[in-house]
């Protein structure tokens, strides 16, 4: 009974100062809403990264000349390496029994033009037709490249979703013409939407046969990246070793020298990106927590003012039998109620508005998470308890005689 009576009196005291209570709840609400929104955003970005790199295929290896370059010195040093070429494909197929298929890809950038419309500096990749089978990439319309396209060096193009939306949205793009630089290509297919990451849109691309790509762009030595699909995750490490042996032998790398190529897996790339974005994600998580702490300080300040204003009331309560514990609990309950109310409203706002607003402006799907909700409610309750203890203890220690003689 005493417990419910204290809650009732705490609510009554809060309602007697509606504006003060509203502003305090508002501050806590904004802090909690920002926690939920930021946590959901960070987890949404993480999931988006994982989904994006999963399109590479978990059992797919990429062999590159440069690998992940972290400095200009690294780049200049790796620039001295021999280029990887398409001629390495049959050698890897022969020397890697755990490899299911091997392909290649080359890259360039070009302007795309359809009529008066243009897209500038779009990635144009030249690929072997089996690349589609090595990656989780779906065809939305038409078809992908064929071996006949590659053998005959046909000028056919498989386009990304952004290119489709720019030039052909609402129309049938199949057999339509596009110009890559000065060369005219026929569209044969459109890829399913992939998404983007950190401002880069992975749907802005055009894929053409590798043989056509090498003929048109005339890159010295016709360098490529090698794409390799292993038979299963269980043999992936064995396959990496087999590929390494083949390449070192073919490229005549001395036994005591380092590899002059890099073998990348989706896990390694994702791990590298996670490492370089870790500080950014921690900062994003810390900022809303600071706002909640500020809200807690506001709660403590308001409760100190409340204790001062209600000194005579405290004296009267003590005079008629209220214990120090009763006074302590009453003011502590007021602090916790304010913070929990702010936390609850903040959860609702963060779940139904914050995440939805961000989803509409960011190219990733953001969904409120249990972690964000638990953090928001838990932190708001803890803040109310922590910052309410001192004012409540001060109120409970007031002498009844001094409190009754206090002039308001």
Please tell me the distance from the alpha carbon of residue 258 to that of residue 251, in angstroms, as a whole number.
Answer: 12
Give the per-residue pLDDT at 209: 96
Confidence of residue 51 (pLDDT cuts 50, 70, 90): low
Residue 177 lies inside a defined structural domain of this protein: yes
Q: Are residues 128 and 195 in the same domain?
A: yes
Tokens found for residue 353: 């508005």
Residue 269 lies inside a defined structural domain of this protein: no
Give the per-residue pLDDT at 43: 66
Please tell me the distance from the alpha carbon of residue 377 to that of residue 361, in angstroms, as a whole number.
Answer: 26
CA atoms within 13 A on the CB side of 229: 14
Q: Are residues 240 and 310 in the same domain?
A: no
What is the arithmetic mean of pLDDT over 343-348?
A: 80
Number of domains, the chain? 2
What is the arithmetic mean of pLDDT over 309-329?
A: 77
Give the per-residue pLDDT at 199: 46
Confidence of residue 402 (pLDDT cuts 50, 70, 90): low
What is the arithmetic mean of pLDDT over 1-17?
A: 71
Q: Are residues 93 and 47 in the same domain?
A: no
Q: Are residues 138 and 238 in the same domain?
A: yes
Q: Are residues 237 and 345 in the same domain?
A: no
Which of 260, 293, 314 corresponds to the end of one domain?
260
Count the helix, strand and coil residues of the chain and give each as a percent rounded to the nearest 5: 55, 15, 25
Beta pairing class for 177-180 and 183-191: antiparallel
Beta strands in 194-353 (DSSP E): 196-197, 200-201, 205-209, 225-230, 262-264
260 phi and psi angles, rounded to 5 deg: -105, 35
Residue 77 lies inside a defined structural domain of this protein: no
Residue 70 lies inside a defined structural domain of this protein: no
Residue 338 lies inside a defined structural domain of this protein: yes
Cβ contact 363:52 at 8 Å: no
Give the per-residue pLDDT at 101: 93
Query: Higher-confidence residue: 134 or 390?
Result: 134
Q: Are residues 44 and 102 in the same domain?
A: no
Q: Are residues 198 and 106 in the same domain?
A: yes
Which of 260, 289, 319 corresponds to the end of one domain?
260
Inform me whether the pLDDT recorded for 102 exceeds 70: yes
Give the per-residue pLDDT at 356: 58
What SS3 class is residue 135?
A: coil
Q: Are residues 253 and 312 in the same domain?
A: no
Q: Are residues 97 and 163 in the same domain?
A: yes
Query: Higher-confidence residue: 370 or 116?
Result: 116
Inform me whether the pLDDT recorded for 407 exceeds 60: no
Q: What percent of the chain has pLDDT over 90?
A: 30
Query: Higher-confidence residue: 16 or 162?
Result: 162
Query: By CB neighbour count within 10 A (0-12 exposed, 13-18 middle, 19+ buried), where does 65 fall?
Result: middle
Residue 397 lies inside a defined structural domain of this protein: yes
Which of 200, 230, 260 corresponds to the end of one domain?
260
Residue 361 structural domain: 2-52+277-404
Q: For 151-155, 213-217, 218-222, which range has the lowest pLDDT when averaged over its residues?
A: 218-222
Q: What is the pLDDT of residues 109-168, one digit of tens each?
A: 899 999 889 998 898 999 999 998 887 778 999 999 999 999 999 999 999 999 999 999
Query: Higher-confidence residue: 287 or 50?
Result: 287
What is the pTM (predicted TM-score) of this model?
A: 0.63
Give the per-residue pLDDT at 152: 95
What is the arithmetic mean of pLDDT over 17-22?
A: 80
What is the arithmetic mean of pLDDT over 205-209?
A: 95
Query: Higher-confidence residue: 372 or 17?
Result: 17
Q: What is the pLDDT of residues 298-316, one digit of tens each?
A: 778 777 877 777 777 777 7
What SS3 class is residue 395?
A: helix
Q: For 103-112, 280-289, 361-370, which range has the lowest pLDDT when averaged over its residues?
A: 361-370
DSSP string of 169-228, one letter each residue? TTS--TT-EEEETTEEEEEEEEEPP--EETTEETT-EEEEEHHHHHHHH--TT---EEEE
Query: Higher-confidence residue: 288 or 340?
Result: 340
CA dihedral 285, 286, 287, 293 (to 10 degrees): 120
Q: Are residues 100 and 140 in the same domain?
A: yes
325 phi and psi angles, rounded to 5 deg: -65, -40
Residue 271 lies inside a defined structural domain of this protein: no
* Closest by CA position to 145, among listed 115, 178, 107, 185: 185
Q: Are residues 210 and 348 in the same domain?
A: no
Inform me whether the pLDDT recorded for 54 exceeds 60: no
Please tell me the distance from the alpha carbon of residue 97 to that of residue 228, in angstroms, as a whole number.
Answer: 12
Count of other CB atoms within 10 angstroms of residue 391 = 24
Confidence of residue 366 (pLDDT cuts 50, 70, 90): low
First to last CA, the chain: 31
What are the beta bridge partners of residue 118?
113
Q: Are residues 89 and 222 in the same domain?
A: yes
Our CA angle for 198, 84, 92, nearest 5°, is: 105
Inform me whether the pLDDT recorded for 359 exceeds 60: no
Inform me whether the pLDDT recorded for 198 exceeds 60: no
Residue 386 lies inside a defined structural domain of this protein: yes
Average predicted confidence (pLDDT) for the chain: 80
Count of other CB atoms within 10 angstroms of residue 120 = 9
Query: Higher-confidence residue: 33 or 354?
Result: 33
Count of other CB atoms within 10 angstroms of residue 109 = 11
Instruction: Tell me which residue has tokens 């990749």.
Output: 125
């Amino acid at each position: 009974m005493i417990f419910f009576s204290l809650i009732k009196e705490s609510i009554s005291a809060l309602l007697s100062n509606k504006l003060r209570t509203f502003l305090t709840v508002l501050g806590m609400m904004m802090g909690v809403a920002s926690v939920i929104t930021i946590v959901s955003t960070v987890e949404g970005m993480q999931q988006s990264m994982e989904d994006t790199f999963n399109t590479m295929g978990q059992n797919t290896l990429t062999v590159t000349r440069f690998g992940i370059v972290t400095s200009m010195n690294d780049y200049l040093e790796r620039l001295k390496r021999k280029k990887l070429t398409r001629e390495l494909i049959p050698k890897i197929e022969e020397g890697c029994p755990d490899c299911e298929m091997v392909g290649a890809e080359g890259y360039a950038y070009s302007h795309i033009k359809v009529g008066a419309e243009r897209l500038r500096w779009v990635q144009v990749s030249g690929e072997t037709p089996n690349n589609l089978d090595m990656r989780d990439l779906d065809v939305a319309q038409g078809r992908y490249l064929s071996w006949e396209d590659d053998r005959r060096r046909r000028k056919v193009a498989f386009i990304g979703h952004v290119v489709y939306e720019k030039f052909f949205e609402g129309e049938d793009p199949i057999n339509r013409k596009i110009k890559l630089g000065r060369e005219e290509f026929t569209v044969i297919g459109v890829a399913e939407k992939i998404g983007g990451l950190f401002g880069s849109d992975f749907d802005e691309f055009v894929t053409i046969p590798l043989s056509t790509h090498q003929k048109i762009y005339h890159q010295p030595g016709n360098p490529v990246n090698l794409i390799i699909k292993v038979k299963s995750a269980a043999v992936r490490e064995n396959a990496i070793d087999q590929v390494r042996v083949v390449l070192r032998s073919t490229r005549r790398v001395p036994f005591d020298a380092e590899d002059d190529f890099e073998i990348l897996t989706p896990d390694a790339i994702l791990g590298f990106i996670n490492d370089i974005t870790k500080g950014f994600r921690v900062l994003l998580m810390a900022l809303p927590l600071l706002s909640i702490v500020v809200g807690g300080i506001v709660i403590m300040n308001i409760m100190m003012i409340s204790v001062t204003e209600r000194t005579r009331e405290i004296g009267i309560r003590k005079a008629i039998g209220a214990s120090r514990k009763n006074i302590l609990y009453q003011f502590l309950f007021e602090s916790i109620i304010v913070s929990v109310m702010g936390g609850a409203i903040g959860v609702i706002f963060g779940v139904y508005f914050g995440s939805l607003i961000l989803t509409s402006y960011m190219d990733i799907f953001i969904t409120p998470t249990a972690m964000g909700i638990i953090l928001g409610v838990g932190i708001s309750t803890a803040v109310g308890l922590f910052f309410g203890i001192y004012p409540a203890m001060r109120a409970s220690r007031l002498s009844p005689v001094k409190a009754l003689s206090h002039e308001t």
